[in-house]
Amino acid sequence: MKCRFCDGQVFVGHQVCHLDILVDDSGAFLDNMPGGAEASIYESNTPFGPFQCCGCGAVYDELKDGQKETSGPIEGWKWPGDSPEDADIKGLIVLTMIRERPCENEIWADNLFVLVEKEAFQESNSQFVSTETFVMQTLRSRVQTWLATPDGWRSNCCASRDYNWGDLINDLPSEHIQVFFTRDEAKDYDILDSVSVRVAQDELLAPDNVPASLVLVYRDGHTDILGVVVDFQDGSISSNNFFKETEVVEGYIQMADGSRLNCDPENDFRSIAEV
C-alpha cells in the first residue's frame, strides 16, 4: 500500500531476529560478535507493525490497501536520510514575489524558495538588514551573475534583450541561481524566514557594467587582451583602448570560468554576438 497522506512506500517496521553473541562463563550476555550484531544475525522473522511512514510519520497497524492510520502525519517530520548534507549551513527563505505591471493593471504572484547561507543571513539580520532586503539583494546578484554567462546571455537574447522578472519566472534557472518553485525541489532545508516582495515586472535584470577581458586575434596571428566593460542588457562592449578592427579576425569575451562569448564582427567586435 501507499501512505494515504504522502504516497510514501517505505515504512519503519519491526522484526524479531536471532543472533550469535558472546557470553561469559555464567551464560550472561558479554558482547556482540567481533563483526558486530548485524553480521551475526542468522534468522529473522516476518516484520510486524505498527508501521511508520518514512515520508510523513503517519502510523499504520498493517500495510494493506484501505488501511486506516492509527495516527496521522507528524508536522515537521524528517526522515534522517532526507536532509541534504549541508543542511546545517544552508537554509531556505520563502519569497512570495508579486510582479506588477501597473500601466496594464496586471499582477502575478509566485512562491519561491531561495537557498541561502545561514551565516550570511544571520549576519545581515544582526545588522538590522530586513529579510526582504537580504533576499532581494541575494536574488538580484545571482541573476546578474548568471545573465553574464553564455547560458544567461542566450536566455537574454531569447527574451529580445530585455530579460525581466517575467522571463525569470517563465523559465526559472533553478540550478544556476539556487531558487526553486517547490519545497520538494528545494530539498529539506530549514525554512529561515518568509517574506513578500513587490517588484516591477519589466525591471531589466541583466547587469550593464561588467568588467571583462576582450581577446582579439589579429590577421598576423598575434593576440591582444584588453580590459573592457560589458553591458549585458544590450551586449555592447566599451573599451578605452583603440584597436584596428580591420586587422582583427576573431574577438571574444573571456569569462572568469573559462567560457567565451563571441563578439560580433558585423559590429567591429564592439558587441557580443547574438546567440
Binding site for Zn ion (CB under 5 A): 3, 5-6, 8, 53, 55-56, 58
The minimum distance between CB 57 and Zn ion, in angstroms, equals: 7
Closer residue to Zn ion in complex, CB, 54/272: 54
- 144/210 Cα distance (integer angstroms): 10
Closer residue to Zn ion in complex, CB, 5/181: 5
Closer residue to Zn ion in complex, CB, 58/159: 58
The minimum distance between CB 192 and Zn ion, in angstroms, equals: 25
Q: Which residues contact 38 (CB under 8 A, 6 or more apart)?
A: none
- 190/88 Cα distance (integer angstroms): 9
- 248/239 Cα distance (integer angstroms): 15
The minimum distance between CB 2 and Zn ion, in angstroms, equals: 8
- 122/192 Cα distance (integer angstroms): 9
Distance of CA 120 to the CA centre of its chain: 16
Closer residue to Zn ion in complex, CB, 70/236: 70
Closer residue to Zn ion in complex, CB, 52/201: 52
Output the DSSP codes for 126-150.
HTT--HHHHHHHHHHHHHHHHHTSH
Written as nine digits, the cell of 65 is 490497501
The minimum distance between CB 133 and Zn ion, in angstroms, equals: 38
The minimum distance between CB 3 and Zn ion, in angstroms, equals: 3
